Each structure stands twice: as structure tokens, then as C-alpha cells.
A = this chain, B = another copy of it.
Amino acid sequence: MSDSIIENVRLVKPRVHCITNYITANDCANILLACGASPIMADCPDESAEITSLCSALVINLGTPNTQRLEAMLISGKKANELGIPVVFDPVGTGASCFRTDFALKLLSEVRLSIIRGNLSEIRSLAGTSSNQHGVDTTDIISDASIQSAAELARELSLKTGAVIAITGETDIVADSSSAYCIHNGHMIMSSITGCGCMLSALMGAFSAVSEDILKAATEAVTAIDVCGETAARQLLPHEGNISCRNRLIDAVYRLNKEALTSSANIEKL
């Protein structure tokens, strides 16, 4: 095994079970294949636990929720806990509807999560911190001035849940209850691509599947997608836009290696 998580993903080719929304499921499957993992999508309660038991990580994404899919998330989450495999939770739109917020809190109370990744609104909503923002898209961005308070929020939610917390946006924070990192990579155009967050959560599934160190896995996954977003933005031709950037981003993950990741990473310990 290498000390590089991306290299280990390519070596081990972990199976990752995604229970995810239908908007970005194709992108999530392709980015998992791009990093060397093997995606399985299955969201029916009748088979959910059985599929989880074939996998090395579970990714639960709250986009386009419905009653059946939520039931599958609980069943698979509990099965993953039983098996001791990591569970990544992406609380898409938590705070935007009671249906999502209530479920997210229920999941937090019934399933032990390894990583929770959301934007600032979503994480605030889970933490019970008041917010005047409604989730789904990041409008409350982490500014340089608010990095410390965002890191504090992440630390608190980590303490409460036991999960590594990633708050992503223009600036990204990854923290557990004792350590926090700020990742200064990424590019503005990523906010114009649907599913950048979903794809990152999928990557976190693959990365945590091959690493005992969940904080490191989450941090490296954030850095990986950010560095690939920078590559994609740099390659963009004058007539190209957000879809080409999405394509180039996934392609960049396909080509990503340890050296490129290490040399481009701009990670600050807080």
C-alpha cells in the first residue's frame, strides 16, 4: 500500500454503494470509475442492505429524496455500521425542507457517520445553528474572515456526531473534533457545475474505503476535486463553459496521480 490514498484507490478498486439523487448519479458513477473505484447504485429498500454488504463504503446523498429512497438509506446505513465500513453523508438541501432536515437528523441519530460533507447552510442546519439561508446551493460562502468560525462549527458538529466534517464552498474546511484544515484549492466555475458536491462526496466514499485515517481521506478527496477543478478551468477554451468544465474535471480525476496532487495541494492547518 502506498501512502497516497488516490494510488491505493487505483490499486484496491473498492466497490462503493451510492444511494443518490438522479440529477448527478451519472457524474458520480463516472468520477468513481475515474478515480479507480467501482460504483454500485441501488436505492430500493428490498435490496439495499444486500448491495451494501458487497461494498467497502456507502455514500448517502439526500438530493431528490423520496420515501423509498430514504428507507433504503437507513437500512443501508445500519448495515454499513454493522459491517464496519465507512458511511459518507451528503445532506443536500438540508434546511430547505422539513422533510430533508427531519430525515437528516434521524439519520444522524440512527447511523454512525464517518464523513458529513455539505455547504455552510447545510452544515449549519445539521448543527442546529440558526441560518437565514436555504440550502441546496451555497449562497453563504466561507470568506477569509469566517474561516475560523466555520472551522469551529465543523469541530462542534464533529464532536456531536463523531464524523469528520467537510464544509465546502469557495474555501473548504475539513475537521474532526481535534484538528481542522483549510483547503485553498478549487476554482469559482465549479459552483456553476451541477453535482460538484455530489461528486466530491462520492470520491470521499472511495477514499475512505481504502484508508483508516478518515480525516486524511476526506482532506485528500477535497484536495483532489479542487485540484482537478483548477486543471479543468485552466484547460477551458474561450467558447467553453460549465459542461466542458464538468467533463474536463472528471477527465482530470481519471489522469490524477500522487505527484500532481501533492505539488498542487494548498492545505493550511488551522
Pairwise interchain contact A96-B50, C-beta atoms closer than 8 A: yes
Pairwise interchain contact B41-A21, C-beta atoms closer than 8 A: yes
Give Cα distance in the complex from A5 to B235, angstroms.
30
Chain B residue nearest in CB terms to A68: B66
Q: Which residue in B33, B136, B239, B247 is a CB contact (below 8 Å) of A244?
A: B247
For window 203-259 of chain A, which residues contact chain B by CB distance below 8 Å? 231, 235, 239-244, 246-248, 250-255
Could you list which residues of chain A lie within 8 angstroms of chain B, going by C-beta atoms? 15, 21-27, 29-30, 33-34, 38-44, 46-47, 50-51, 54, 63-68, 93, 96-100, 134, 136-137, 192-195, 231, 235, 239-244, 246-248, 250-255
CB distance from A35 to the nearest CB of B (A): 10
Give Cα distance in the complex from A127 to B29, angstroms.
28
Pairwise interchain contact B243-A247, C-beta atoms closer than 8 A: yes
Q: Find chain B residues with CB under 8 A from A26 CB.
A: 23-24, 26-27, 194-195
Q: Find chain B residues with CB under 8 A from A46 CB.
A: 66-67, 97, 99
Chain B residue nearest in CB terms to A189: B254
CB distance from A250 to the nearest CB of B (A): 4
A50-B250 contact in complex given A38-B137, A193-B30, C-beta closer than 8 Å:
no
Q: A23-B41, A33-B193, A42-B97 are in contact. List 8 more A-B contacts (CB 8 A).
A: A33-B192, A39-B194, A40-B137, A47-B98, A50-B97, A50-B98, A54-B96, A240-B255
Pairwise interchain contact B27-A96, C-beta atoms closer than 8 A: no
14 A–B contacts from the bound complex (CB under 8 Å): A24-B26, A26-B195, A30-B243, A30-B246, A40-B96, A43-B66, A46-B67, A47-B96, A51-B93, A240-B255, A241-B252, A241-B253, A241-B255, A244-B247
Q: Find chain B residues with CB under 8 A from A246 CB.
A: 30, 243
CB distance from A14 to the nearest CB of B (A): 12
Q: Find chain B residues with CB under 8 A from A99 CB.
A: 44, 46-47, 50
Pairwise interchain contact B29-A194, C-beta atoms closer than 8 A: yes
Q: Find chain B residues with CB under 8 A from A251 CB.
A: 239-244
Q: Find chain B residues with CB under 8 A from A24 CB.
A: 26, 29
Q: Which residue in B27, B41, B136, B235 is a CB contact (below 8 Å) of A63?
A: B41
Pairwise interchain contact A51-B242, C-beta atoms closer than 8 A: no
A33-B242 contact in complex given A43-B66, A67-B46, C-beta closer than 8 Å:
yes
Pairwise interchain contact A64-B50, C-beta atoms closer than 8 A: no
